[in-house]
Amino acid sequence: MSEDTKQLCFFKEISGKPVHVNFNGGNISSDSGVVLLQRFIDGLGIVKKVAKLLPDDRHPSFIEHTTEQLLNQRVLQIIAGYQDGNDCDALRHDPAFRVACGKKPETDAPLASQPTMFRFEHRIDQKTLVRLSRLQVDFFTYSYKKAPEAIILDFDDTEDQTYGRQQLSLFNGYYGSNCYQPMHIYEGKSGKLIATILRSGKRPTNKEIAKMIRRIVRIIRKRWPNVNILYRGDSHYCGPKVLDICKELNMQFVLGLTSNSILQKSISHIKKQAVEMFAQNPKAFKLYHEFEYQADSWAEPQRVIAKVEYTEKLKLNTRFIVTSFKAIWRKKAYEILYCGRGKAELYIKEHKGQLGSDRTSCNSFLVNQFRLIFFNLAYMILQTFRSRYLKNTRFAKADFNTIRLKFIKIGGQIKELSTRIKIHLSSAYPYQDEFRKISISLTG
């Protein structure tokens, strides 16, 4: 029996009929949705703009894949769930990815292999990375049709575990691992990515955070001089230099504040009251208190809000925040303004957990930062796609995994004819109406 007709007969019969399986189905892709998404990416223009900044010292006579094609291939593969550069070898013949990257599915050369992608990643330099970091913030500002009245800068960081002798990898006692600790900055209301900066595996210093705030706010204010900015973060994003830069740049802030003996003494009467209330009625509750406080390193006193609560585990718990807002009700300042920063953890979950941005496994720190740019582009594309084209559908609040499953992982047969390329999507695809509407919106 020839290879073309050989059957894999290890499946059970259905109603007395044997199930035969072979690999004679033709030029079929399981990721045909990337063709639709590529149309959106072309209109967005961010991949093209990034590609123009990237260095390319190759001789023109030997270039088989342009810089834009290489970047486009890498970003599309990440969006489709293939985070590693090694996946390029398995996908370079996939017809859907070839069409999405501007190649004919059968007669053109395959896409870039893993070694080619490896060389592409290692062409990066420090000067280009600085330009790309500024461009990321520009992408954020240009994503608005008009200047917003106010934006929220949510700062947070996460763990990217490292292995072997990777540059700037450090042991972090909090996470208990050797890691990088990249800093993520999002706009708190929309979830738009502003910047992601790869860092060594240690907590950022107060000086480093203030420096980053200054850089980002200057770029934003250059485009929007009058926009109101709220800076938000947990306790290790608070400090004297941060408070000073917020005042200098005329920014509001709501920040966590690390507890100390002076703060605890200031709420001793509230804690006593909470104990008495719990003794009378042992159930969970919260009390709020506020006072002025000035640490020795602070330039001036600030408003501090304390939360004293008995949790569901019936344990006494205290938390502190510091804020520049003077008139906002203390409960609202804590539960709405400060606790709203919890959304940043969900954005990081999509960026890191669902796109796989913690795949920073190269020995070179510069290359790992460049790889993080790929994931940033993937995040921006999917977040913008969701906000523009899924907002009036059942998928308006879908996470990236769901978007990938519903709109990227579509089986389709792709044929290259003499005058056209035809893509036959699965007749059983359950979201044909949504797909058609999105396609019409993109071509309209």
Identity (one letter) of the amino acid at 125? D
Whether the Cβ atoms of residue 173 and residue 258 lie closer than 8 Å to each other: no
Q: Give the whole-number percent of the chain exceeding pLDDT 70.
A: 98
Closest C-alpha to 393, from 431, 343, 426, 346: 431
* Among candidate residues 71, 219, 55, the one with its CA nearest the CA of residue 141: 219
Q: What is the mean pLDDT of residues 250-276?
A: 95
Nearest Cα residue to 316 out of 261, 341, 279: 279
pTM, two decimals, is 0.93
pLDDT, residue 244, reads: 96
Domains of the chain: 22-123+411-443 (no CATH), 126-367 (3.90.350)
C-alpha Rg value of the chain to the nearest Å: 26
65 is written with which tokens? 């894949």
Q: For residue 6, what pLDDT band results from cuts at 50, 70 and 90?
A: low
**Distance separating alpha carbons of residues 261 and 425, to the nearest angstrom:** 65
Above 50 in pLDDT, residue 1?
A: no
| Both tokens assigned to 385 | 């796609």
Work out the pLDDT band at 3, boundaries 50, 70, 90.
Answer: low
Residue-wise pLDDT tens digits, 128-187: 999 999 999 999 999 999 999 999 999 999 999 998 889 999 999 999 999 999 999 999
Q: Report the pLDDT value the prediction gives residue 18, as an integer from 0 to 100.
A: 80
Helix H or strand E encompassing 73: helix 67-79
Helix/strand/coil for 318: strand
Query: What would the pLDDT profile of 307-326 be if each residue is shown by its tens digit?
Result: 999 887 778 899 999 999 99
Alpha helix locations (H) across 224-280?
240-248, 261-266, 268-280
pLDDT at 313: 75
> Could you give the angle at the alpha carbon of 322 between the alpha carbons of 243 and 348, nearest 5°?
85
Proportion of the chain in helix, strand, coil states, percent, rounded to 5: 45, 20, 40
Helix (H), strand (E) at residue 291 = strand 285-293
pLDDT digits (tens, 9 = 90+) for 194-235: 999 999 999 999 999 999 999 999 999 999 999 999 999 999
Per-residue tokens: 230: 């709220």
